[in-house]
Structure 1
Amino acid sequence: MKLQVFLGAFALAVGLIACTPNQNPDVLTLGGPFEFTSQDPARDGYVYTRLQIAESLLEVNDNGELLPGLAQTWDMSPNGLTWRFSLRENVRFHDGTPLTAEAVVNALNMALRKPGVIQSAAIESVNVEDALTVAVHLRAPYRRLGAVMAHYSTAILSPASYREDANVAWMQGTGPYKLVGFDPPHRIQATRFEEYWGKQATIPNVVYLTGHRAESRALQVMAGQTDIIYTLDPASLNLLRRQDNVRVYSDTIPRTIQIKVNASHPFMAERNTRLAMSLSLDRQGLSEKIIRVPGGEANQLVPPSLAEWHINDLPPIKQDIVRARGLLAEEGWLPGADGILERDGKRFQVSLITYADRPELYVVATAIQAQLRAIGIDVDVSIVNSSGIASGHHDGSLELALVARNYGNIADPLGLLIADYGNHGNGDWGGMGWHNDELPAVLEQLKSERDPVLYREKAQRAAHILAEEIPVIPVLFYTQQTAVSSRVQGFSFDPYERNYRLSEMSFAQP
């Protein structure tokens, strides 16, 4: 079997290298692991904002600060219940119709009909004040509404984009590229929008390709078949770094690899058990030897770049097998004949699922499997579609899941943390079966807190609760690895993963 795998990979490499490299000066080809099934911002909007097809009212810089987007200015009323967004003039959708307040109200109302971060704001109504002014009225103050309006799920599309059921028939955005080809789940084509309101893109055409096999994507960029590959597997990094025609970029982003735990499971309901599982992990070894990015150890859920929510003086979590075994013994777990723990006649055997969209997850999962076995926990690891995490959460079958949670897909993680823990810690990607009375109350207070000092104090309190109670086990802070062809100039990576910045790129002159 190993020989067959090797020969298959070798044949693929030879085939790719034998192909004519992609040197078309009119087409930028990029690839990643993420499939898409729709054009709806609420479901797959991140693909279209990254490709600069769709835009939102506000933008975010590398420091997480809000910037003008389709709205030039915005303000909040003294009581915090009304926000006004003043739109840019002379902006057109890709179907040629103008950006108006009426079109924006329609798009936001469509977003309100679907799940998403916009639901974290208590929006009473969205109204037209004049041709280029939109008013958002809230039932209660929500300090982070601006961050919500910078999220991909609130991207503004022309009214003609939507069907009566609020789903998108064909995306007509406002970005520097417009959608011209849609072949789910693997291919999107976009072309330069000549009537774009801002700086014109230099490269005329873009093709986005989805491919799950990380090693195949790496071979494609080495062979010149693809210009940019996002989300590389650790095993490919050294080989790619030795290529003369490829540059590898490593960017720290506000995403955390973490173990989602079913705290209602009788084996993992006690905090001591979850703490023991955390103490079994050799985070330094995982960071240096598996991910190959030293210093990525996570001692809490929210990474340092989101400063209000990160505890600076929290000590690192050192591997401590002796203490881990002691904590499990306190909970009544004793080693069986084969070393696996037993209690009340039941073996400590659980399943851990992860997904292939981020290739390092399976490698980390197998290392975690070995480290948990060292304290007597038998873990079965398997790969599912990423949607299997949420479905396992809802039907109660999920026991453990290794996920890469993006805390920065919105400029402030409050809305995301409300989704994960606001309902007593029972969100699809957050806690499961874990209950805490204080945390939801703190998150609710933060929604209307306007004093920045008090906001930080309450955010820090929320972070401490999560660190102390361990409803989810932090493992590693994430580093995005990207391979870029040497013919591409002007590449940079958005740490909030909102925008691939394609319009800023160009091709080197031959």
Structure 2
Amino acid sequence: MISTKSLALAAAGLMLATGISYAQSTEVRIGVALEPPALDPTAGAAEAIDVVVYQNIFEGLVRIDQTGAVQPGLASSWTISDDGLTYRFSLVDGVTFHDGTPFDAEDVKFTFDRLLADDSVNAQKALYTPIESVTVVDAQTVEFTLSRPDGLLLFNLGRGDAVIVAPESAESNANEPIGTGPFAFVQWDRGSRVILEQYGPYWGEKPALTKASYVFIGDTATMTNALLAGDIDGTNNFAPEALAVFEGNPQFNVLVGSTEGETILATNNAKAPFDKLEVRQAMAHALNRKDIIEGATYGYGVPIGTHFAPHNPDYLDLTNTYPYDTAAAKTLLADAGFPDGFSATLKLPPLNYAQLSGQIIASEFATIGIKLELINMEWAPWLEDVFANKDFDLTIISHVEPFDIGIYANPDYYFGYNNPEVQALNETLNATTDEAQRKVLAQQIQTIIAEDAVNGYLFELPQTGVWNAKLEGMWQNAPVEGVVLRDIHWVQ
């Protein structure tokens, strides 16, 4: 007698043999390099948080699409007063959080009161300081009053830092996130994966996927093997040095696009000897961007000379401000009082581009007498020691926040740059809504920080995705942080 199980196995074998598929998969497994330290994007700076939760678990009043444009989100529409100081948002009706509690204007007010509170831990709090008050007009209407016009307010409301959270669940979002998005959190197997499932009562258009797993794989060889074995279905940012394995393979689709990630040799401007302009200028002259880009991104990175994305229309090419010139670098070091150079530490997060860049830069700096001790760090200690406590000489990191030149106007930011002229220009930029005027101001700031060699400006980080060829709907470019699931689907 043949069992039902045997018949099922035989049928499955026939499907494999003939290539016939009777059921379309609705699950995706995505490999990501970094495990997030928490899952609340309103209370953490790590990009790894947004990779998992942005537009998947959590949503904002508006959302950013893959072109970088602002689209309606939890707000279906909005009006702006003539003076640019009042924004009135009409909210989508019938929205619920994943725990079943209803979403309304009170949640919006709670979110921004919490974001702007004195004890707020939001990494981008400064972006929202123009918000003077948030007023509940009625359950489906909320009004923002600004202290000054803000040309980037709508875009900033679409970032992961401004997603809407509920008072009932805000305190537990770090470990058990509850949002309004198309996917609900299911479980977090620490060190392994986060699992999301489609939220049945979702208010918007249902995604094609019913389940998504974010699998944490920090090693390139392991990620390669997982892709080839079919253990994962793709990754949004694969190591460029191994892309050749997948290029030309019909089973995979390689998507190369741009990001907002300015990769910099971040410098502790508040610490000797880096508080001397000549030292920073010497280091800038010692950087051979061509070699760094070839070695760290296998040629996929785009050189930058300031902290601005080259694809942005306001970008100014300042890569020749301090051209590669070791003789000039040595002269500047001597002028600064270091004719024989000095020793310093270079703390590197667990990112391939950072560690490869670090090795190349250490070799280049050695030629002008700067001896670097490379210190490889895990992500959590790097965030604490370098980003939070400013306990570092040099580090390498990509700043992936869009239009984030305003960090140079914050003297308390981790690289300790304090320039009143930049602070004044940035204040004017923030209050300016005219695009032509904004461009002039943005380029003035770009020029000053380049000439001050605040950091070593290396390259714009590319996005190099590798995906199963039967998957579609992934973002090629990354105008904001995140792996957005809403459009991803399987095709025959």
Matched residue type, 2:413: G
CA contact 2:307–2:405 (8 Å) conserved in 1: no
CA contact 2:472–2:490 (8 Å) conserved in 1: yes
CA contact 2:53–2:482 (8 Å) conserved in 1: yes
1:84 aligns with 2:88: yes
SS at match of 2:362: helix
SS at match of 1:31: strand
1:488 aligns with 2:471: yes
| Of 64, 71, 77, the match for 1:67 | 71
Change (3 A) 1:386 1:443: farther
1:417 aligns with 2:421: no
- Structure 1 residue 476 displacement after superposition: 1.0
**Counterparts in 2 of 1:357-506, with a 5 A limit?**
358-387=351-380, 388-389=382-383, 391-392=385-386, 395-408=389-402, 413=403, 416-418=404-406, 420-424=407-411, 426-428=412-414, 431-432=415-416, 434-506=417-489
| Of 257, 265, 273, the match for 2:271 | 265
**Unaligned segments of structure 1, at least 5 residues:** 1-22, 336-340, 342-347
- Structure 1 residue 492 displacement after superposition: 2.8
1:134 aligns with 2:142: yes
| Of 205, 211, 226, the match for 1:205 | 211
CA contact 1:29–1:209 (8 Å) conserved in 2: yes
CA distance in 1, matches of 2:248, 2:67: 32
- Structure 1 residue 52 displacement after superposition: 1.1
SS at match of 1:379: strand
Which residue does 1:187 correspond to in 2? 193
CA contact 1:160–1:172 (8 Å) conserved in 2: no
Matched residue type, 1:385: E
**Counterparts in 2 of 1:53-452, with a 5 A limit?**
53-113=57-117, 114-116=120-122, 117-120=124-127, 121-163=129-171, 170-241=176-247, 243-294=249-300, 296-308=302-314, 310-312=315-317, 315=320, 318-335=323-340, 341=341, 348-356=342-350, 358-387=351-380, 388-389=382-383, 391-392=385-386, 395-408=389-402, 413=403, 416-418=404-406, 420-424=407-411, 426-428=412-414, 431-432=415-416, 434-452=417-435
CA distance in 1, matches of 2:248, 2:175: 45
SS at match of 2:168: helix
- Structure 1 residue 464 displacement after superposition: 1.1
- Structure 1 residue 125 displacement after superposition: 2.3
Which residue does 2:5 correspond to in 1? none
CA distance in 2, matches of 1:270, 1:230: 40
Matched residue type, 2:348: T
CA distance in 2, matches of 1:247, 1:317: 38
CA contact 1:302–1:407 (8 Å) conserved in 2: no
Which residue does 2:16 correspond to in 1? none
CA RMSD of aligned residues (A): 2.5
Task: Kindly provide the CA deviation profile for residues 178-222 of structure 1, in whole angstroms up to 9, marking residues without a partner as x.
Answer: 112233454211111222222211121111111222321122111
SS at match of 2:311: coil
CA contact 1:222–1:243 (8 Å) conserved in 2: no
**Counterparts in 2 of 1:4-19, with a 5 A limit?**
none
Question: TM-score, with normalisation over the residues of structure 1?
Answer: 0.83
CA distance in 2, matches of 1:396, 1:154: 25
CA contact 2:51–2:483 (8 Å) conserved in 1: no
Task: Kindly provide the CA deviation profile for residues 346-375 of structure 1, in whole angstroms up to 9, marking residues without a partner as x.
Answer: xx111101111x322101110111011111
Greater shift, 222-231 or 55-64, is seen at: 55-64
- Structure 1 residue 243 displacement after superposition: 4.0
Which residue does 1:40 correspond to in 2? 40
CA distance in 2, matches of 1:448, 1:51: 28
CA distance in 1, matches of 2:126, 2:335: 42
CA distance in 2, matches of 1:134, 1:331: 56
CA distance in 1, matches of 2:84, 2:384: 34
SS at match of 1:263: coil
CA distance in 1, matches of 2:87, 2:253: 44
Change (3 A) 1:274 1:169: closer
Which residue does 1:13 correspond to in 2? none
- Structure 1 residue 435 displacement after superposition: 2.7
Change (3 A) 1:27 1:448: same
Greater shift, 243-252 or 312-321, is seen at: 312-321
CA distance in 2, matches of 1:38, 1:334: 46
Task: Kindly provide the CA deviation profile for residues 384-426 of structure 1, in whole angstroms up to 9, marking residues without a partner as x.
Answer: 1344255236545310011111142xxxx2xx433x22233x4
SS at match of 2:142: strand
Change (3 A) 1:213 1:132: same
CA distance in 1, matches of 2:269, 2:125: 28
SS at match of 2:447: helix
Matched residue type, 2:408: Y
Which residue does 2:20 correspond to in 1? none
SS at match of 2:456: strand
Change (3 A) 1:423 1:238: same
CA contact 2:260–2:480 (8 Å) conserved in 1: no
**Unaligned segments of structure 2, at least 5 residues:** 1-22
SS at match of 1:440: helix
SS at match of 2:459: strand
- Structure 1 residue 170 displacement after superposition: 3.5
CA distance in 1, matches of 2:173, 2:467: 35
CA distance in 1, matches of 2:305, 2:297: 16
Change (3 A) 1:499 1:330: closer
